[in-house]
Amino acid sequence: MAKWKLYWVESDGYEDCFVVAKNSRSARSVEANMNGFDISDATAIRVMDIPDIFEEKADKKFRDWSKIHAPQQANNPDLHEWPWYADKWLLEELGAQFRVIDNEEQILLRDIVYAKKPTGEWYTYSIGARAIYERNKDLPQYDNYDNEPRIDISKQLYTAMGLALTQCHEIEFLFSNSFVFAVSEKQKKKYKTFNDFFKGWEKKTLGGLFSAMQEAFDIDPEVKMALDLFLDMRNTLVHGITTTERYDINTDWGQKELLAFLDLFLSLCDPIKDIATSCFEVSIEIANTYLLKESDENIPIKSSNELLSLFINCFKLKSMN
């Protein structure tokens, strides 16, 4: 069993840091004693065990440093580096990666990104296998970081991107054919005939469609948040996500970031697609009931009370006065 452990110690958000200690109380004590916190104000999160071979290396580095900066202690036979803050060399030996992106200093270790904002405040988020497990608790938890196989997952990511783009196309088709949203006065003034409307509606961007929806209907706040998030992620996806620094598919870090992004996006697509389908079905019902001549055949569709209820719960028609 390893003698030392690596902890991520959180305090005021600005002094958060990696600490090497034997237990969480010791780790919190290092931070509290150095920065004047009460030990109860600090939280220590265990990251991993530290192989015993690094203790001797840390002590040697500390002794060499002491010979220059603190010679009075350099010959002390009981001189030891830890418990103390984790140096960069140790984090690198433990598998950490470093980068600066969007003016943030970031450290990646075991699928957790430790990011420091330009303001100096730290925050963390999960990517890769850890992010997928956190959002899908029914999946087996991946914990093989000590012997993590280096696998090229770029092909799987391209497949997932294909699935994501297919979902985008299907969702946009449903919304672009949901003419129920043309009932606002602003939209009515743009078109003289239904054919004009259909042609104009199909040319709208997804953002334009969502704006037109808000002109005619009050949208449930949670649904609106989901639609806005979908639009933002959709735009990120279709405008070359794999070539951006954060999601660069040619790097291990970028692949893990992209994996987490696609997992979240595909999870979001399911409820958005249900909403889009409900809008489409309501539009077809309106067409069959009010727009077709008696001699015309109805547009074939399988009506669903569940989808009708979903539409009613998500969208409330604004006053036309």
SS3 111: coil
The residues near 155 (Cβ < 8 Å, ≥ 6 apart) are none
- For residue 168, the model assigns a pLDDT of 95
Task: Name the residue among 182, 187, 235 with its Cα closest to residue 207.
Answer: 235
Under the banding of pLDDT at 50, 70 and 90, the label for residue 187 is low
Q: pLDDT tens digits, residue range 29-74?
A: 999 999 888 999 999 999 999 999 999 999 999 999 999 999 998 8
What single-letter DSSP state applies at residue 181? G
Identity of the highest mean pLDDT range in 9-13, 144-148, 200-204:
9-13
Under the banding of pLDDT at 50, 70 and 90, the label for residue 89 is very high
Q: Residue 120: left if φ>0, alpha if ψ -120 to 50, beta else—which one?
A: left
> Is pLDDT of 195 > 80?
no
- For residue 249, the model assigns a pLDDT of 92
Q: pLDDT tens digits, residue range 212-270?
A: 888 888 999 999 999 999 999 999 999 999 999 999 999 999 999 999 999 999 999 99
Q: pLDDT tens digits, residue range 103-123?
A: 999 999 999 999 999 999 999
- Mean pLDDT (whole number) for 21-29: 96
> Strand pairing partners for 109?
112
Token output for 292: 């077709």
Task: Compute the distance between CA of residue 260 and CA of residue 270 in angstroms, rounded to an integer.
Answer: 16
Helix-helix angle 206-216:154-176, to 10 degrees: 40
- Taken in order 9, 67, 80, 58, the sign of the CA dihedral is positive
Q: pLDDT tens digits, residue range 139-174?
A: 788 877 887 777 788 888 999 999 999 999 999 999
Q: Any idea which of 140-149, 242-251, 287-296, 306-315 has the lowest mean pLDDT?
A: 287-296
- For residue 92, the model assigns a pLDDT of 97
Angle at 33 between CA 28 and CA 39, to 5 degrees: 40
- For residue 109, the model assigns a pLDDT of 96
Task: Compute the distance between CA of residue 229 and CA of residue 267 in angstroms, rounded to an integer.
Answer: 12
* 140 CB neighbour count, 10 Å cutoff: 8
> Is pLDDT of 1 > 80?
no
Do residues 85 and 18 touch, judged by C-beta distance below 8 A? yes
Q: What are phi and psi of 78, to 5 degrees?
A: -100, 20
Angle at 318 between CA 216 and CA 298, to 5 degrees: 60
pLDDT > 70 fraction of the chain, expressed in percent and rounded: 85
